[in-house]
């Protein structure tokens, strides 16, 4: 059994590393910081995980698994394209709300051109697959209205709120993490999805 699954020292270190890496990035966190937050000694970090880069990979892997699981069932079920798209959006938003630290971490590492990029790409590839499956009969295979363009657009829309809004602070007015603010954002994203579907419908009628 994986010793990081239960409540031992390794699990506490992994959780602490998760929070700190997400908050300050790979380079901004030291093994001492992680040990302190975990309530362990620094040497214990190296005993359980070998090195700082290895610990970071473990953090990424753990989240990747959670992300894949969250999206797995949401989009595969019954319903037409519109219903499945809205379910996928909700699943993505749910996951983003429950794993804010992860969203920041991924955003951080992608922006940094991280050496751990291959791990991140696996997660994105899965999501692109889902979107392509849903949009397959609504959009052209290539060009400005292809599935990959919409995938990138929706990723940006969801991530922007999760990562940017808290940083906007006074610019945004209210705390973006409050329930009311989240509900408003969710309504916005669903409205956008419907507006784009209506636009695609117009394109199909025209053709």
Partner DNA sequence: GTCTATATCTCGATAGAC
Partner DNA sequence: GTCTATCGAGATATAGAC
Q: Distance between alpha carbon 126 and the CA centroid of its chain, in Å?
A: 12
Q: Which is nearer to a second copy, 62 or 186 (CB)?
A: 186
Q: State residue 113 phi and psi, 5-degree precision.
A: 60, 45
Q: Which of a second copy, DNA, none does 144 bind, CB closer than 5 to 8 A by kind?
A: a second copy
11 scored as a contact of a second copy (CB under 8 A):
no
Under 8 Å between Cβ of 60 and 47: no
Q: At what angle do helices 42-49 and 9-24 cross, to 10 degrees?
A: 100
Q: State residue 114 phi and psi, 5-degree precision.
A: -60, 155
Rounded to the nearest whole angstrom, what is the least distance from the CB of residue 50 to DNA in the complex? 7
Q: Which of a second copy, DNA, none does 184 bind, CB closer than 5 to 8 A by kind?
A: a second copy
Distance between CA 207 and CA 202 in Å, rounded? 9
33 scored as a contact of DNA (CB under 7 A):
yes
Under 8 Å between Cβ of 49 and 58: yes
Under 8 Å between Cβ of 81 and 134: yes
∠ Cα 76 153 140 (to 5°)? 70
How many residues touch DNA under the rule CB under 7 A: the total is: 21
Binding mask 34-63 for DNA (x = CB under 7 A): ------xxxxx-xxx-xxxx----------
Near a second copy by CB under 8 A: residue from 81, 91, 133, 196? 196
User: Taking Cα atoms as reference points, which of 109, 76, 62, 70 lies closest to residue 93?
Assistant: 70
Binding mask 137-176 for a second copy (x = CB under 8 A): ------xxx--xx--xx-xxxxxxx-xxx-xxx-xxx---
Q: Can you give the binding site for a second copy, defined by CB under 8 A?
A: 23-28, 104-105, 107-108, 110-113, 117, 120-121, 124-125, 128, 143-145, 148-149, 152-153, 155-161, 163-165, 167-169, 171-173, 184-185, 187-189, 191-192, 194-196, 198-199, 202
Q: Can you give the binding site for DNA, defined by CB under 7 A?
A: 3, 8-10, 29-33, 40-44, 46-48, 50-53
């Amino acid at each position: 059994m994986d010793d990081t699954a239960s409540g031992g020292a390794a699990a506490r270190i992994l959780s602490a590393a998760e929070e700190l890496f997400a908050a300050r990035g790979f380079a901004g966190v030291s093994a001492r910081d992680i040990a302190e937050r975990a309530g362990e000694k620094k040497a214990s970090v190296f005993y359980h995980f070998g090195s700082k880069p290895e610990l970071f990979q473990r953090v990424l892997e753990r989240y990747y698994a959670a992300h894949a699981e969250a999206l797995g069932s949401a989009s595969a079920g019954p319903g037409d394209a519109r219903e499945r798209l809205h379910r996928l959006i909700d699943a993505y938003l749910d996951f983003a709300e429950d794993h804010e630290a992860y969203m920041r971490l991924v955003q951080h590492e992608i922006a940094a051109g991280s050496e751990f990029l291959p791990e991140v790409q696996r997660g994105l590839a899965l999501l692109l697959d889902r979107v392509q499956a849903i949009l397959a009969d609504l959009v052209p295979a290539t060009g400005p209205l292809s599935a990959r363009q919409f995938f990138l657009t929706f990723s940006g829309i969801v991530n922007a709120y999760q990562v940017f809004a808290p940083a906007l602070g006074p610019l945004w007015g209210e705390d973006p993490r409050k329930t009311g603010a989240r509900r408003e954002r969710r309504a916005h994203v669903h409205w956008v999805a419907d507006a784009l579907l209506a636009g695609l419908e117009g394109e199909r009628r025209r053709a």
